Amino acid sequence: MEWADFTAGRTGDLHGRAIREMTNTTNTRRDTLFDVEEMELNFGPQHPSTHGVLRLKLKVDGERIVDCYPIIGYLHRGTEKLFELHPFFQNVPHTDRLDYVAAATNNLAYVGAVEKLIGLVVPPRARYIRTILCELQRISSHLLWLATHAIDIGAMTPFFYCFREREIILDLFEEYCGARLTLNCMRPGGQPFDLPVGWGERCAEFLDDFPSKIDEYEGLLTNNRIWKKRTVGVGVLPADLAQEYGVTGPMLRASGVQWDIRKAMPYEAYGDVEFDIPVTYNGDTYDRYLVRMEEMRQSVRIVEQCLDKLPDGLIMAKSPRVLKAPKQSDAYFSIEGPKGEIGFYLVGDGTPNPHRCRVRAPSFMNLQVVPILAKDQLLADMVAVLGTTDIVLGEVDR
């Protein structure tokens, strides 16, 4: 597709108007004093702040971005096809590699879809363990986001502070399931392992400590004038545009739409715990930052409640030896991942393998608005916008 088609067809004037109304930080006036020649700039796939192998073809007029065209596919591994070649349970490790910084939520979305397709009922203890894992995963994913986002904007120290806490979460994961990133910690029908002895206490210890660490990051960033200058009013995403593009997760909530699958359609143990959904209304980079910071605090609340309420009993449902989906069956199950709604659509054909698997990857949907957010911003804002979109290319390319 050509540049002109791309922007003329898709962005419309909706965004331009919104930008003009809501921000006056960027100078959108075209200077006609000199001849202006636009430069094409390849932003990625090997660039420090594209978070993987995203390539953005930018047209820049000096520092100002005239046009932005993302090119994806550098990490395409044919995962969806791979799902069709393996029985249901063997696909769980593949889901680890979609959003590779948030494996637990991917696992849950997938096994949830399988359970829905086959009709397995998960025992309550397994549900609680899953909730705990997912919320810890959300914290660790947000920490990684904050670390990279801060380093994109130039603050180095939060990076190390975030990784310090993320390390503890990864240790907890390792203790539970033996891996730190590619967890493979759920199975269709329940949990493969119970929590190790003393795990709950170590987790609670971390949770007690963690809010003070969030305060530390916020001390470095939240009220920092430079941070605010770089993020407030940058990359404004209006709520209607966000909904049109299917943007989910913290990005949507920062635009003022209170949509969280954990509350809207509670799965696992989310119906039994109390938590708030942070919503902000400006839809800019700073608000997305605020939303994610608050989400980490809420996740701490959720895990604490789950640890308190953790029921005894089975961790695995009674399930057949070979999981077979009914003929001509399909199921879609989605959960609120750290980056947005992650869902799996499975079609069964009576064999142990899924006939088709479609992944609804939040990063892919969220990436779509990046060209709109980046347009008419400066090159430095591009980095801030991309950082706050929180994409993981493993999930975008699949």
Partner 1 sequence: MSSRGAHPRHPAPYRYTIVERLYLPLLSGLWVTLRHFVRNFFGRGKTYTINYPEERRLYSPRYRGHHILTTRPDGSLRCVACFLCAAACPAECIHIEAGEHPDLNIEKYPLLYNIDMLRCVFCGYCVDACPEEAIIMSNNHDMAYFNRGQSVVTKDELQKPYAYDESRLGYRPHYPEEQAQHAALRHGLVDLVEEARRQGADSASRTAS
Partner 2 sequence: MFDLLATGAKMAVWMTVLLSVTPVMVWVERRGAALIQDRLGPNRVGPLGLFQSLADAVKLLFKEDIATLESDKFLYTLAPMLAVVPALTTFVVIPFGPDIEVAGRPVSLLVSEAETGALLLLALASLGVYSLVMAGYSANNKYSLMGAVRASAQMISYELALALSVVAALVPVGSLRLDHVVSYQQGTWWGFLPHWNLFPQFIGFLVFLIASFAETNRLPFDLPEAESELVAGYHTEYSSMKFSLFFMGEYMSMATLSILASTLFLGGWHLPGLDYSGWWVTAATTGLLVLMAKAALFLLLFVWVRWTFPRFRFDQLLRLGWKVLLPLAIANLVLVAALTVSGVL
Report DSSP letters for 81-92, one per residue. Answer: HHHHHS-GGGGH
Q: How far is 382 from 10, CA to CA, in rounded Å?
A: 19
Taking CB under 8 A as the criterion, the residue among 76, 157, 265, 271 binding partner 1 is 157
Return the number of the residue (230 or 288) whose C-beta is nearest partner 2: 230
Closest CA to 361 of 72, 156, 67, 164: 72
The residues in 262-321 that bind partner 1, with binding defined as CB under 8 A, are 276-283, 286, 290, 294, 312-315
Residue for token digits 């997305």?
288
> Taking CB under 8 A as the criterion, which residues in 162-191 touch partner 2?
164
Burial of 180 (0-12, 13-18, 19+ CB in 10 A): middle
Which residue type does 297 have? Answer: R
Give the phi and the psi of residue 167 in degrees, each rounded to 5.
-60, -40
Alpha-carbon 127 to chain mean position: 21
SS3 at position 239: helix
Smallest gap from residue 234 Cβ to partner 2 (A)? 9
Beta carbons of 18 and 372 less than 8 angstroms apart: no
Nearer to partner 2, 221 or 293 (CB): 221
By CB under 8 A, which span of 70-78, 171-179, 247-255, 380-388 interacts with partner 2? 380-388
Shortest gap between Cβ of 317 and partner 2 (angstroms)? 43
Q: Does 350 bind partner 1 (CB under 8 A)?
A: no
366 binding partner (options partner 1, partner 2, none; Cβ < 5 to 8 Å by kind): none
Compute the Cα dihedral for 352, 355, 359, 360 and give only its sign: negative
Q: Which of 383, 385, 392, 396 binds partner 2 (CB under 8 A)?
A: 383
Contacted by 31, from partner 1, partner 2, none: CB < 5 to 8 Å by type: none
Closer residue to partner 2 in complex, CB, 27/328: 27
In angstroms, give the least distance from the CB of 374 to partner 1: 19
80 forms part of the interface with partner 1 (CB under 8 A):
no
Token duo for residue 58: 């930018």
271 interacts with partner 2 by CB under 8 A:
no
Show the DSSP H helices in 119-272 as ranges: 124-153, 157-177, 199-221, 225-231, 239-244, 250-254, 261-264
Contact between 84 and partner 1 (CB under 8 A)? no
20 touches partner 2 (CB under 8 A): no
- Give kind and range of the element (H or E) at residue 296: helix 285-309
CA neighbours closer than 13 Å in the CB half-sphere of residue 302:
28
Q: Which of 26, 243, 329, 351 binds partner 2 (CB under 8 A)?
A: 26
Residue 212 touching partner 1 (CB under 8 A): no
Residue type, 241: L
Residue among 297, 285, 306, 273 at smallest CA distance from 387: 285
Choose, by CB under 8 A, the member of 11, 49, 182, 351 that binds partner 1.
182
Site of interaction with partner 2 (CB under 8 A): 26-27, 39, 41-42, 47-49, 62-63, 150-157, 160-161, 164, 220-221, 224, 226-227, 229-230, 378-383
Residues that bind partner 1 (CB under 8 A): 22, 86, 89-94, 96-97, 123, 125, 157, 164, 167, 171, 174-179, 182, 184, 192-194, 196-197, 216, 219-221, 223-226, 228, 232-233, 239-240, 255-258, 276-283, 286, 290, 294, 312-315
